Chain A
């Protein structure tokens, strides 16, 4: 059971982000960390490999600046190795370009299963995983809250607004995992030390046979034309109890159609 997890290294959300005024892209020049939403995929992959009793977890990631500290966090959790595609020409790559690069790298790893987060915390397009599946010609199952491998097939409970769908699919397949469905383990100190000697294969797009014209700002078919501040949330309504507060709260909830 070999599982590839797509992980993204992002600027630390705790630090104030800034946008490139020319491209409206998030500036990702500094130190990058593992996207929290990817920790769920890593955890799920480790559990699936544990359960299968054989195989390993491989991380696949892409960044223009060669940063590996986010990958090392996931390696410290227990992933066996990582493939990092790092190339100056990747700066400004859109979601489809990213999918092409990741798909080419994933193909080399020949996984039984590919896991990804439903969306990244910094970009939020939520489109990359399904594009990878399409490029690789694999089935994709999105919004998984539970994943089981049964022989050669995959059983997924797929989160919906009303409840969940039970989905079955042949392997290999790509599954996107929603946040919070498993409890990501904390890397132990030993895990962090061991991660230092785990292999991180760094590839350029040329190594993957991808033309520079297909990636980066040049290859991007998507352009962010404008960015505006979101509306400030209106302040809440304070209900002072004059004996009828419960009725007013019920009225309010009825207006919201939650009752």
Chain B
């Protein structure tokens, strides 16, 4: 592909994922949201479709596809359910990808086949109660006792870490060499998965805090070189930013589609409300923003697929798309009027789900920092 325009293959794939999302996810999304239910069978069905393995080599059962395909999948799943969209994004980007990027052959052979097939889910524990954007402030510690690492500390806001199919959680911890990463299999003694958070949104996505209390893993569970844990993680965070941009794009697109439909159907003052410019022009502006978000997202994905630097492009895409998503939920709610405040309309769910997009995988402030540094500004 010599330009970042999506190919026919991408569009055929988009159609398949959309069919799947509209048949298997959309009819149940509101119920899962209400019940705070993580639908493990649907995660497995997404695995059967090949979504968790899209970007990984066939050697481990992956599809050998490009990153743009993954973005298409995340966008389309996110268009009907942000919770399942983040489940996919985190499962691939934070669960399987670190093992694929930094794992030894043994580690890859051991964990990747199930992660790639969607039979199991992986999670990544970086954030701590006192270390978020400043991940260098990690307090969790690991020390070597015999042929085992003993890990102590706590992690916060960890996606996919407590599902019944969670197989591994990669955690960062301070060692003598700096910050290192360790693969902690689910069920390891000393690993405590705390009760689920009561979140504003993403109710069907699995999120917990973790306690590591004398948690022991064999030395072979060290992921990557000692002291490279943070550096390695930051390098894959750029991929995650493009993925979140795709998720935000799905959210914004859903809001525009719902709002346009409603503006055509809902009558006030003797006709459909979409004939009022005050409302119609907001949707016009939203369409422009979504086109921009699409372009930034798939340009960044294309750069990644070309093996070119993505830091600035990923930050731009993530910043712009997530802020567009939040705007889209606000505009759509306004179009829906009172109905937009009622849980029976999907807009409410998107409204609650959108805000986290501006926070996770690097806040909007961090993206602006990355971009300001890219401009050569002496920002802190």
User: Is the beta-carbon distance between A189 and B15 smaller than 8 angstroms?
Assistant: no
Give the residues in chain A near B8, CB-CB below 8 Å: 69
User: Is the beta-carbon distance between A192 and B13 smaller than 8 angstroms?
Assistant: yes
User: Is the beta-carbon distance between B65 and A189 smaller than 8 angstroms?
Assistant: yes
Docked Cα-Cα span, A215 to B53, in Å, equals 46
Q: Which of B11, B63, B69 lies at the interface centre, i.e. has the most chain A CB atoms within 10 A of its CB?
A: B63
Q: Which of A73, A190, A196 makes the CB contact (< 8 A) with B63? A: A190
With A69-B8, A192-B9, A196-B9 in contact, do A187 and B16 touch (Cβ < 8 Å)? Answer: yes
Docked Cα-Cα span, A72 to B19, in Å, equals 16
- Report the nearest A residue to B58, measured CB to CB: A190
User: Is the beta-carbon distance between B49 and A189 smaller than 8 angstroms?
Assistant: yes
Docked Cα-Cα span, A236 to B209, in Å, equals 53
Q: How far is the CB of A127 from chain B (nearest CB, A)?
A: 29
- Asked if B50 lies at the interface with its beta carbon under 8 angstroms from chain A, I say yes
Given contacts A186-B49, A189-B50, 7 further A-B contacts (CB under 8 A): A69-B8, A186-B20, A188-B63, A189-B54, A189-B65, A189-B69, A193-B65
Give the residues in chain A near B13, CB-CB below 8 Å: 189, 192
User: Is the beta-carbon distance between A192 and B19 smaller than 8 angstroms?
Assistant: no
- Report the nearest B residue to A31, measured CB to CB: B11
Give the residues in chain A near B49, CB-CB below 8 Å: 186, 188-189
User: Is the beta-carbon distance between A33 and B15 smaller than 8 angstroms?
Assistant: yes
Taken residue by residue from 21 to 65, chain B's Cβ proximity to chain A (1 for < 8 Å, 0 otherwise) reads as 000000000000000000000000000111101100000000111
Give the residues in chain A near B15, CB-CB below 8 Å: 33, 73
Residues of A within 8 A of B (CB): 33, 69, 72-73, 76, 186-190, 192-193, 196
Q: Which of A76, A188, A189, A196 lies at the interface centre, i.e. has the most chain B CB atoms within 10 A of its CB?
A: A189
Q: How far is the CB of A234 from chain B (nearest CB, A)?
A: 19
Q: How far is the CB of B207 from chain A (nearest CB, A)?
A: 27
Q: Which of B9, B11, B54 lies at the interface centre, i.e. has the most chain A CB atoms within 10 A of its CB?
A: B9
**Interface majority SS (helix, strand, loop, mixed), chain B:** helix
Give the residues in chain B near A189, CB-CB below 8 Å: 13, 49-51, 53-54, 63, 65, 69
User: Is the beta-carbon distance between B12 and A73 smaller than 8 angstroms?
Assistant: yes
Taken residue by residue from 242 to 255, chain B's Cβ proximity to chain A (1 for < 8 Å, 0 otherwise) reads as 00000000000000
User: Is the beta-carbon distance between B16 and A186 smaller than 8 angstroms?
Assistant: yes
Give the residues in chain B near A76, CB-CB below 8 Å: 12, 16
Give the residues in chain B near A33, CB-CB below 8 Å: 15
Give the residues in chain B near A193, CB-CB below 8 Å: 9, 63-65
Give the residues in chain B near A192, CB-CB below 8 Å: 9, 12-13, 16
User: Is the beta-carbon distance between A188 and B64 smaller than 8 angstroms?
Assistant: no
Number of interface residues of B (CB under 8 A): 19
Q: How far is the CB of B84 from chain A (nearest CB, A)?
A: 15
Give the residues in chain B near A190, CB-CB below 8 Å: 50, 63
Give the residues in chain A near B63, CB-CB below 8 Å: 188-190, 193
Q: How far is the CB of B45 from chain A (nearest CB, A)?
A: 9
Docked Cα-Cα span, A187 to B13, in Å, equals 9
- Report the nearest A residue to B45, measured CB to CB: A186
Give the residues in chain A near B65, CB-CB below 8 Å: 189, 193
Give the residues in chain B near A187, CB-CB below 8 Å: 16
Docked Cα-Cα span, A196 to B64, in Å, equals 14
Q: How far is the CB of A15 from chain B (nearest CB, A)?
A: 13
Q: How far is the CB of A9 from chain B (nearest CB, A)?
A: 12
Give the residues in chain A near B9, CB-CB below 8 Å: 192-193, 196
Taken residue by residue from 217 to 236, chain B's Cβ proximity to chain A (1 for < 8 Å, 0 otherwise) reads as 00000000000000000000
Q: How far is the CB of B92 from chain A (nearest CB, A)?
A: 12
Docked Cα-Cα span, A37 to B51, in Å, equals 26
With A189-B69, A193-B63, A193-B65 in contact, do A69 and B12 touch (Cβ < 8 Å)? Answer: yes
Q: Which of B16, B51, B63 lies at the interface centre, i.e. has the most chain A CB atoms within 10 A of its CB?
A: B16
Q: Which of A69, A73, A188 lies at the interface centre, i.e. has the most chain B CB atoms within 10 A of its CB?
A: A188
Docked Cα-Cα span, A190 to B48, in Å, equals 10
Q: How far is the CB of B285 from chain A (nearest CB, A)?
A: 24
Q: How far is the CB of A236 from chain B (nearest CB, A)?
A: 17
User: Is the beta-carbon distance between B48 and A188 smaller than 8 angstroms?
Assistant: yes
- Report the nearest B residue to A191, measured CB to CB: B50
Docked Cα-Cα span, A48 to B159, in Å, equals 42
Docked Cα-Cα span, A103 to B11, in Å, equals 31
Docked Cα-Cα span, A76 to B14, in Å, equals 13
Give the residues in chain A near B11, CB-CB below 8 Å: 69
- Report the nearest A residue to B18, measured CB to CB: A14
Docked Cα-Cα span, A186 to B55, in Å, equals 19
Docked Cα-Cα span, A188 to B16, in Å, equals 8
* A–B Cβ pairs within 8 angstroms, 21 of them: A33-B15, A69-B11, A72-B12, A73-B15, A76-B12, A186-B16, A186-B19, A186-B20, A186-B49, A187-B16, A188-B63, A189-B13, A189-B49, A189-B51, A189-B54, A189-B63, A192-B12, A192-B13, A192-B16, A193-B63, A196-B9
Give the residues in chain A near B51, CB-CB below 8 Å: 189
Give the residues in chain A near B48, CB-CB below 8 Å: 188
- Report the nearest B residue to A34, measured CB to CB: B15
Give the residues in chain A near B16, CB-CB below 8 Å: 73, 76, 186-187, 192
Q: How far is the CB of A63 from chain B (nearest CB, A)?
A: 16
Give the residues in chain B near A188, CB-CB below 8 Å: 48-50, 63
Q: How far is the CB of B115 from chain A (nearest CB, A)?
A: 16
Docked Cα-Cα span, A76 to B63, in Å, equals 13
Docked Cα-Cα span, A72 to B11, in Å, equals 12
Docked Cα-Cα span, A69 to B13, in Å, equals 11
Closest 4 CB pairs of A and B: A189-B50, A189-B63, A188-B50, A186-B20
- Report the nearest A residue to B13, measured CB to CB: A192
Docked Cα-Cα span, A189 to B116, in Å, equals 13
Q: Which of B48, B49, B69 lies at the interface centre, i.e. has the most chain A CB atoms within 10 A of its CB?
A: B49
Give the residues in chain A near B19, CB-CB below 8 Å: 186
- Report the nearest A residue to B69, measured CB to CB: A189
